Structure 1
């Protein structure tokens, strides 16, 4: 079966005085249709660069990124992107923010409203549809950003540390909310995070990257059932996989060293 997203030998270099800096070096990865993949790794390993390539915001220096077999040449409505910063319009309500992207389409007003209502309901913000961002908590603002991405009906969600600025309790709550939404909608998700527990809890596969230059160190299968629960977080099976990923992230040998 053809992968939904395919990174094929992607390289990204940036010019620097003296020599180019290689952010990503020959990274190849396939993400299946409706699969949930998380990407972890040390600072500077190119996690966000890889995600931005899939989003069409960064162009590879070599190699290519394909979505449904077609090369990515720029942003597209089939790919929704969610960053750590909410980027909500402060003068618009939750509904206004969620519906904003839809107004750039040719959809009639009633269909835009239906889609916005559906997305707002998915993230549990129906009671706050007419609230302004300044009245919302950080977690609610991020749920609004997720609803905005869902409203345009993307086939792929690209998420770059979307919960990184939130407190621990809110972060756990939004992880559960995201999985609940994903279970119902089944989009393809690539989720970048620096949090190992989060990476294991959300994903079917965890991609562990190494830095200098950025490359895939290993891929860890998360053979745990959905729905994921608090009980699962505390299970020996979760601890085993979490420790495996942790060791892969924080005990990597430098590039070029002997195994």
Structure 2
């Protein structure tokens, strides 16, 4: 499947998106003519070298930045700002420092109008899921960087968006916690069926999670290759050791680190 293939059931569509910035009086092209469709309930990971525009693309999909030309669409409508159907998890924690872990996770639920009892039950479920049950009443300043990110993940899960946009959400976590949250993410995705776009620098993570891996290239930021991951779900730790996984990993690795200009 090529980068420009249009899907009949696309939930997310990127059409010839170009994004430029002024850099000391010169035009810097962060994204150059990027087109991509993501199907409903598909899990797509995005990898590429530093500076290839992964986060810029994510910000455009989240509605936090606008393309210089082209358009991004969700359900056929142009993205003009954030929306409740899109949950976003950034590399930064973006927690309210004056709210406890529980209150941070409840924030979106309160905005959605849930009563206090339902908010607390939902929040506690996702707080326990990310392993912060003992810290539910702690303020962010009392948490490590990895714990803050787990809190941000729980907050995004709690509002149950139909689309998850995730910008290196597990990058700050230790290896064991990272693997556990990968498994939990796939479990909730398999059960609840939502559309996921997940940015990562970790090639193993990209292959392990995805239906498709989008490999980007830099200068200008563009799609270099799209790799179909034809491994069955549920994914297992044994699968990471299989020859099939190794072949896919090597293909993605080579596409990321041995790109021709």
Q: TM-score, normalised by structure 2?
A: 0.89
Cα distance, 1:136 vs. partner? Answer: 4.7
| 1:110-130 alpha-carbon deviations (Å, 9 max, x no partner) | 343343344335545455544
More displaced, 14-23 or 146-155?
A: 14-23
User: d(CA) in 1 for partners of 2:181 and 2:56?
Assistant: 24
- Look up the match of 2:194: 187
1:145 aligns with 2:152: yes
Aligned to 2:84: 77
After TM superposition, the structure 1 stretch with the greater mean CA deviation from structure 2, 236-245 or 9-18, is: 9-18
List aligned pairs for 1:1-259, cutoff 5 A: 1-123=8-130, 125-126=132-133, 128-134=135-141, 136=143, 138-254=145-261
- In 2, distance between residues paired with 1:92 and 1:49? 29
Whole-angstrom distance in 1 between the partners of 2:173 and 2:154: 17
- Once the two structures are overlaid, the 10-residue window that deviates more, 241-250 or 91-100, is 91-100
Cα deviations across residues 44-82 of structure 1 (Å, max 9, x unaligned)?
100000011000011000000000111100011111110
Q: Which moved more, 1:136-145 or 1:187-196?
A: 136-145
Q: 1:170 to 1:241 in 2, by over 3 A?
A: same
Shift of 1:243: 0.1
Structure 1 residue aligned with 2:5: none
Counterpart secondary structure, 2:37 = strand
Contact 1:22–1:213 under 8 Å retained in 2: yes
Q: Which runs of 5+ in 2 are unaligned?
A: 1-7
Q: Secondary structure at the match of 1:23?
A: strand
Counterpart CA distance in 1 for 2:190 and 2:257 is: 31
TM-score (norm 1): 0.90
1:166-221 per-position Cα deviation (integer Å, ceiling 9, x unaligned) = 23333222212222222222211100011111100111100000110011001000
Give the root-mean-square deviation of aligned CA atoms. 1.9
- Name which of structure 1's ranges 71-80 and 93-102 shifts more when overlaid on structure 2: 93-102
Residue segments in structure 1 that go unaligned for 5+ positions in a row = 255-259
Q: Distance in 2 between matches of 1:83 and 1:229?
A: 26
Q: How far does residue 162 in structure 1 lie from its aligned partner after superposition?
A: 0.9
Size of the aligned set, in residue pairs, is 254
1:144/1:181 CA distance change after superposition, 3 Å: farther
